[in-house]
Amino acid sequence: MRVGYRDVCLEHDTGPRHPESPDRLRAIKRALASRHNVEYVAPEATDRGSALAVHTNGYINELERFCEDGGGNWDADTVAVEETWDAAFAAAGLAEWAAEAALDGADGRETPFALGRPPGHHAVADDAMGFCFLNNAAVAAQSMLDAGAADRVAIFDWDVHHGNGTQDIFYDREDVFYASVHEDGLYPGTGEIPETGEGDAEGTTLNVPFPAGCGDAEYVAAVEEVIGPAIVEFDPDLLIVSAGFDAHEHDPISRMVVTTDGYGLLTDVLRSTVAEADAAMAFVLEGGYSLETLSEGVAQVHEVFDGLEPHAHDWEISESGRSVIEEVKAQGFPSREPFDHDEPDPGTDEE
């Protein structure tokens, strides 16, 4: 993969006990160091105009003053220092680079992954929250639309937390499709199934809020049966994956049980989705707070593009997970019938 990264993102210092620490990026870089075909790119930070395309002027001014004054606790979870301003604009610039590179034809082993922090998907138009200051995926999507590089953009968020900021920013927009699979009831408490868009944008938001304890089988089924078909129907030029790795079975702040191989399976299904939609694809880092499983997850995404065929551990979908998927289908989104992963592949000879 082509990995966007800048050292300035390490300077956003959240303190020794905060889960969203600079060590997250260091761990990912260590995990990628032994992998083949990893190319690092250091693009420019986003500019104020791109940030203002998705955030209010009042908020950006307030954030600038807050950082200039040395930062502190923006809220109970969201911490800033003076350097946070530059790190946030760098992270958004990395997301813009990934989107632009994808639309310029970077795919396969050159598929772009924006490795930045602070993350972005909780940042709403006029406020920071949930460790996030600028909504990186939203900045990237809007920049591509404003530049005329894309007419329609889809964003799929597999972070364990619902991306309330991304949803809010595009909730009444017909040119951006937002889909999320997340743990029901977890912070920030948004992302219910009936939240499907507003006005003429009805049907451009799709939420799959799974109960705690769901894993590979449920996540892959959600993408294969509902999210993938809905993305294909939307016909985007670009799919941005808001890639958080905190639904992992060993992440400390969630109760989901996605495996490292599960992230590879999701990546593989998304490759098929964008091929069917004839769309470009870029990845933008969101959460993930076990250094080991975060770094393994990002490395797994890379290795799928480097030829790895991920292994499926268990295809038994829980009754509660199946119930959620069927309820989402009932909202009227395009969907497919469940695929039986225990059946041999079509055309396979098996005695």
The SS3 assignment for 83 reads coil
Query: Would the pLDDT of 345 be above 70?
Result: no
Q: What band does 343 get if pLDDT is binned at 50, 70 and 90? A: low
pLDDT in tens, 15-57: 999 999 999 999 999 999 989 999 999 999 999 999 999 999 9
Query: Would the pLDDT of 316 be above 70?
Result: yes
Alpha-carbon torsion (290, 292, 298, 304), positive or negative: negative
pLDDT in tens, 121-179: 999 999 999 999 999 999 999 999 999 999 999 999 999 999 999 999 999 999 999 99
Q: Could you say which of 121, 122, 248, 302 is catalytic?
A: 122
Residue 122 is among the residues annotated as catalytic for this protein: yes
First-to-final CA distance of the chain: 39
pLDDT in tens, 47-57: 999 999 999 99
Number of Cβ atoms within 10 Å of the Cβ of 200: 10
Peptide bond into 211 cis (omega under 30): no
**DSSP H helical segments within 240-286, as ranges?**
260-277
Q: Packing angle between helix 57-68 and helix 84-103, nearest 10 degrees?
A: 130
Q: Spell out the domains of the chain, with CATH numbers in brackets.
A: 2-329 (3.40.800.20)
For residue 284, what pLDDT is reported?
A: 99
Nearest to 141 by CA among 236, 38, 29, 16: 236
Which residues of the chain form beta strands (DSSP E)? Answer: 2-4, 39-41, 72-73, 79-80, 112-114, 153-157, 176-183, 205-210, 238-243, 280-285
Structure tokens at 303: 């290795």
Q: How far apart are CA 161 and CA 274, in angstroms?
A: 24
Nearest to 178 by CA among 209, 195, 152, 154: 154
pTM to 2 decimal places: 0.96
pLDDT in tens, 279-302: 999 999 999 999 999 999 999 999
* Residue located via tokens 């990845």: 283
Q: What band does 342 get if pLDDT is binned at 50, 70 and 90? A: low
